Amino acid sequence: IPNRKWWKEAVVYQIYPRSFKDSNGDGVGDLKGIISKLDYIKSLGIDVIWLNPIYASPNHDNGYDISDYRKIMTEFGTMADFDSLLNGMHRRGLKLVLDLVVNHTSSDHEWFKQSRSSRTNPYRHFYHWWPAEKGKPAKRYSYFDVDNNAWKYDSTTNAYYLHYFARSQPDLNWENPEVRQKIYSMMRYWFDKGIDGFRMDVIPFISKDTTFPPLPEKYHGDFKKYYANGPHLHQYLHEMNQKVLSHYDIMTVAEGAGVTSDEAMNFVDPKRQELNMLYNFEVMGLGLKGGEYRDLDPNGVSLVQFKKIYTKWDSVYGERGWGTIFLGNHDMPRMVTRWGNDSPEYRVLSSKMLTTFLLTMHGTPYYYFGDELGMDNIKFDSISDYRDIETLHIYEHIKETGGDLQRFLNNEKMIARDNGRTPFQWDSTANAGFTSGTPWINVNPNYKTINEAVEEKNPESPLNYFRKMVQFRKNNLILVYGKYELLDKDNPNVYAYTRELNGRKMLILLNFTDHQADAHLPVNMKNAKQLIGNYSEPAKNDNPLSLRPHEAKVYQL
């Protein structure tokens, strides 16, 4: 096998530190909490842990607004806690990937405080300023702004500053070489401590045309694509690679917001010496109509489209580069609710089916904490339960413009990011054993039945199935490096594909529906041997191509 790499063979486990385990009763998960659960994490069989931001932050966006890149968030602990966490991971053979958030800082960052203080301050050009005497800057959309405006007027210097996200997240000026040097030096600081990689937050957005011309017509409503195509983006990523990344044995993954499949190779082609991997978000729009209310599509998710998108992205990495596979993260609802079936009848089966998908696809799997328990959306009824700046701001906007708040709240039960941020369910004691205090966000009331302690004891639980699937991938390099091929592409119910390496072939069959469904394959199943599956009892029907509701099976052909 050519070009073997540890990060291609790894299973990554993402932890949202705020919601994993609270060690001191303040209701907020922390580093000591993670340390206390390292044996659990190790027991999953995963290789790499990615932590969402743990740096000093006023937490307007839960750590994605950093006020000091070299300090640990007070609520999460101290640098000594961080050192012992890293040490505890390395002792267990686990690698640590941190979040790199450098498109913007917090408005509390010292650089921004200096920058906004006067037009002649040495830090002025660390950010993007538009002097008000030039008139109003051309429209730029913002993610988390009540007025959906990415330019905020600041009276101190009579100028507007740019913030693609919240007002408290001003965008750094990457066109300024001094900014880049400061960031590279900060990255070296963490690599020299021994971390094993970075997940790079909205990294495609860093470079900007600083003349800030009017947004071309075609990007209205699709501004992400414009933001992701700044003039010097790839020059900066190559520079970052040469100055920092290439000096360490580490992995990098770009959050690929706004990046299309035609552009992906520009990030990950090894010849270009930029990054290793990129997430694509193309399936994330499936089943949604979107718009101001974030409406759902009454027809639900089209499996045919889902398969088409994964297959297209697989072909991007046919020759060079490397892909990623995920179905959930801290910006998304729970995978079993969004892509499976969270009814009491099918939650367990469908979450195991999705786990089978994630661990048999071509690309490094990024598995979101809690999905191994089959945790599902909490579906808050009231706006007062929400904590996320995104939901709160959209709600505020709809309220101010006199819109239909109930319609929005109904949609958020499916879509809101907070669905994926509720505390990890450890056991059936108060607050699911997450905290002895008041949790920063409600624990899902189903924790008495869905929790780690209960699932430990049940060999058929999603938890123990996840462990089995991780080992299965580890024992079969064919699942890492084997060629992927989609079969029966127009089947609206079943996802069927093969993986093939050195003459060995596996067939994966996944029923995405809650009824019996057949795969129609040009494959002789006579000598096929089932290797793993999510049903414990054998089927009554002996046709291997007939699948029970949400059934997942892997065959050796």
Residues annotated as part of the active site: 201, 255
For the chain, what's the residue count?
557
* 3-state secondary structure string across 196-239: CEEEECCHHHCCCCCCCCCCCHHHCCCHHHHHCCCCCHHHHHHH
Hey, which residues between 7 and 46 contact Ca ion (CB under 5 A)?
22, 24, 26, 28, 30
* Closer by beta carbon to ligand TEU, 285 or else 318: 285
274 binds, among ligand TEU, Ca ion, none (CB under 5 to 8 A by kind): none
Rule CB under 6 A: say whether 202 interacts with ligand TEU: yes
Hey, which residues between 143 and 172 contact ligand TEU (CB under 6 A)?
143, 165
165 binds, among ligand TEU, Ca ion, none (CB under 5 to 8 A by kind): ligand TEU
474/468 Cα distance (integer angstroms): 10
Report how far apart, in Å, the C-alpha atoms of 438 and of each of 22, 58, 447 are. Answer: 10, 20, 15
349/367 Cα distance (integer angstroms): 17
* Closer by beta carbon to Ca ion, 30 or else 61: 30
The torsion defined by the Cα of 341, 343, 347 and 349, in degrees rounded to 10, comes to -80
Hey, which residues between 373 and 412 contact ligand TEU (CB under 6 A)?
390
Nearest alpha-carbon partner for 420 in 52, 6, 41: 52
Q: Measured from the CB of residue 508, what is the shortest distance to ligand TEU in angstroms?
A: 28
Q: Measured from the CB of residue 513, what is the shortest distance to Ca ion in angstroms?
A: 42
319/334 Cα distance (integer angstroms): 33
Rule CB under 6 A: say whether 418 interacts with ligand TEU: no
Q: Measured from the CB of residue 345, what is the shortest distance to ligand TEU in angstroms?
A: 30
330/455 Cα distance (integer angstroms): 23
Rule CB under 6 A: say whether 201 interacts with ligand TEU: yes
- Residue ranges with strand state E in 256-387: 277-279, 288-290, 295-296, 324-325, 364-368
61 binds, among Ca ion, ligand TEU, none (CB under 5 to 8 A by kind): ligand TEU
| Binding residues with ligand TEU: total (CB under 6 A) | 13
26 binds, among ligand TEU, Ca ion, none (CB under 5 to 8 A by kind): Ca ion
* 3-state secondary structure string across 126-171: HECEEEHHHCCCCCCCCCCCCCCCCEEEEHHHCEEEECCCCCCCCE
User: Burial code of 325-356, b = ≥16 C-beta within 10 A, e = fewer?
Assistant: bbbbbbbbbbbbbbbbbbeeebbbbbbbbbbb
Q: Measured from the CB of residue 100, what is the shortest distance to ligand TEU in angstroms?
A: 11
* Closer by beta carbon to ligand TEU, 166 or else 250: 166
Q: Measured from the CB of residue 380, what is the shortest distance to Ca ion in angstroms?
A: 23
455 binds, among ligand TEU, Ca ion, none (CB under 5 to 8 A by kind): none
Rule CB under 6 A: say whether 64 interacts with ligand TEU: yes
64 binds, among Ca ion, ligand TEU, none (CB under 5 to 8 A by kind): ligand TEU
Question: What binding mask, one character per residue, do residues 78-107 give for ligand TEU by CB under 6 A, x or -?
Answer: -----------------------x------
418 binds, among Ca ion, ligand TEU, none (CB under 5 to 8 A by kind): none
Rule CB under 6 A: say whether 22 interacts with ligand TEU: no
Nearest alpha-carbon partner for 370 in 19, 7, 81, 4: 19
Rule CB under 6 A: say whether 331 interacts with ligand TEU: yes
Rule CB under 5 A: say whether 412 interacts with Ca ion: no
Rule CB under 6 A: say whether 372 interacts with ligand TEU: no
Q: Measured from the CB of residue 205, what is the shortest distance to ligand TEU in angstroms?
A: 8
Question: What binding mask, one character per residue, do residues 285-314 give for ligand TEU by CB under 6 A, x or -?
Answer: ------------------------------
Tokens 């073997």, residue located: 4
3-state helix, strand, coil in the chain (%, to 5): 35, 15, 45
408/390 Cα distance (integer angstroms): 12
Angle of helix 389-400 relative to helix 405-415, nearest 10 degrees, comes to 160
225/216 Cα distance (integer angstroms): 11
Are 275 and 265 contacting, i.e. CB atoms less than 8 angstroms apart?
no
Q: Measured from the CB of residue 23, what is the shortest distance to Ca ion in angstroms?
A: 6
Rule CB under 6 A: say whether 61 interacts with ligand TEU: yes
Cross-sheet strand order for the sheet of 151-154: 129-131, 159-162, 151-154
101 binds, among Ca ion, ligand TEU, none (CB under 5 to 8 A by kind): ligand TEU
* Beta carbons within 8 Å of 5's beta carbon, 6+ residues apart: 276, 322
List residues near ligand TEU by CB under 6 A: 61, 64, 101, 143, 165, 201-202, 255, 257, 330-331, 390, 417
List residues near Ca ion by CB under 5 A: 22, 24, 26, 28, 30
